[in-house]
Amino acid sequence: MVGAMSEDRDTGRQGRAASEDGTGEEDGFRAPPAVEPLETPPIVLAAPAVPAVPPGWIAAHRLRAAIWWRGASPNLRGSVYMMAALLVYAVMVGAIKHVAAAIPLVQILLIRQVVMSLVIATFAGATLPVLVRTTRPGLQLVRGVVTLIAMLLGFTAMIRIPLAQATAIGFSQVLFVTIAAVLVLKEQVDARRWAATIIGFSGVLIMLNPSTDGLDLDAMMAVGGALFSAGITVSVRMMAATERTETILLWQGFILIVALALPAWLWWVSPTAEQWFWLMVLSLFGTAGQWLITRAYQVGEAAALAPLDFSRLILASLTGFIFFAEIPALTTWIGAAIVIAATLYTIRKNARAKPATPDPLAP
C-alpha cells in the first residue's frame, strides 16, 4: 500500500511537469507526447529475506549458544543455573560475614528479603497479582518457615566459624537431598549418581577431619542448616509443576518479612553508608542467587544437581582466604580435589542425558 501511494504521487508530479512544457496548437497548451510508461521501483521495498546464518562472529556464536541451550537436557540446564547461583552466593556470603560484625543477622535477613521482594515486584509490574496467586498455599507456608530456619542456622554458622569449615559441614545436605529425592519425590537415582554423591561426601568428611576435636555448637548449627536446606530443595521440586519461580520467591519474602519484622525492630542497629552499600550488594546478589537456584531445581532433578553443590567449597575457601585471612587446612584441599572430581563427573553425566541437536553452523 505504501508503495502504491508513492507511485501515485510520482505520477502526479510527472503529469504536472509535462503540462508546463511548451504551448498547445489552439489554447496555448500542447499535449505531451505519448511515451511508454517507465517501470520505476517502489520507494518502499519488500524486506529482504533473513539469511539462514547471521553474519558476524558474535551473531553466529550467539545462535550456536541458543541452539545448544534448546538442545541441552533438563539436568544440564539445571546444572548451568546451579553453577551460576553458586558464584553469586559466594559474593553474598562474603558480604554477610563482613556486615554481620556490626549488624544483627535478623536485620540483615529482613533487609535482604525486602529488597528481593521489591525487585521481583518491580519486574512483575502489572502481572504481580497473577504471580501472587498459588495453588499450594500450605506448602508455600511450610517452605517459608523451613527457609527461615535454614537461613538462621546456616548463616549463624558461617559468621562464627571459618567459611571453608561451615561450607564443608553444610555439604551434608547432599545426603539429605538424595535420600529425600528417592523417598519423597520418587526420583530414580542410578548407581553412578549414588557413587558420585558418596564420593563427594567422603571428600567432605576428609575436610572435617573427624579425628581432631569434636563438633561444637556452631558446627552443629551448620549441620542443622544443611538439613533444613534439603527441605527447601525438596519443597521447590514438589511445587515445580504448578508454581512459578517468582511466585515461590514472593511467598518466601512475605513470610520471612512477617517473621523477621519484630526481632529486627527490637535489635535494630542504624547502618553506616558503607554498611548500607554491602547490605544492598548482598541483597541484590542474594535475590539473583535465590532465583537461579530455585530455577535450577525446577528444571533439573534434585538428586542430579545435589553433587554440584560441592563447588561452593572452593569459592568459600577463596573468599575466606582473600577477605578474612582464613587459611584452609591441608585436609580441605585434599577433600576439595575429590569434590571437584565428583562435580565434573556429574556435569558430564548430565550432558549425556539427551542427544545433542545438530548444529547447522557446523562445517
Report the candidate in 232, 246, 226, 258 with the shortest Cα–Cα distance to residue 110: 258
| Position 212 confidence tier, pLDDT thresholds 50, 70, 90 | low
- Tell me the average pLDDT across 39-56: 50
Residue 260 lies in a domain: yes
Residues whose CB is less than 8 angstroms from the CB of residue 161 and which lie 6 or more positions away in sequence, other chains included: 218, 219, 222
Give the model confidence (pLDDT) of 139-158 as tens digits: 999 999 999 999 999 999 89
DSSP at 272: -
Instruction: Give the relative orientation of helices 191-208 and 163-170 as an angle to the nearest 10 degrees.
Output: 150
Residues belonging to the chain: 363
Report the candidate in 308, 38, 39, 13 with the shortest Cα–Cα distance to residue 174: 308
Q: What is the pTM of this model?
A: 0.68
- Tell me the average pLDDT across 10-39: 45
Q: How many domains is the chain built from?
A: 1
Q: Are 108 and 279 in contact (CB under 8 A)?
A: yes
What percentage of the chain has pLDDT greater than the value 90? Answer: 21
pLDDT at 99 over 80: yes
Residue 151 is part of which domain span?
93-195+214-301
If you average pLDDT over each of 56-60, 118-122, 232-236, 260-264, which comes out highest?
Answer: 260-264
What is the structure's pLDDT at 349?
61
Residues whose CB is less than 8 angstroms from the CB of residue 144 and which lie 6 or more positions away in sequence, other chains included: 251, 252, 254, 255, 256, 259
Residue 177 lies in a domain: yes
Residue 98 lies in a domain: yes
Residue 277 lies in a domain: yes
Q: Are 167 and 253 in contact (CB under 8 A)?
A: no
Cell 553425566 belongs to 349
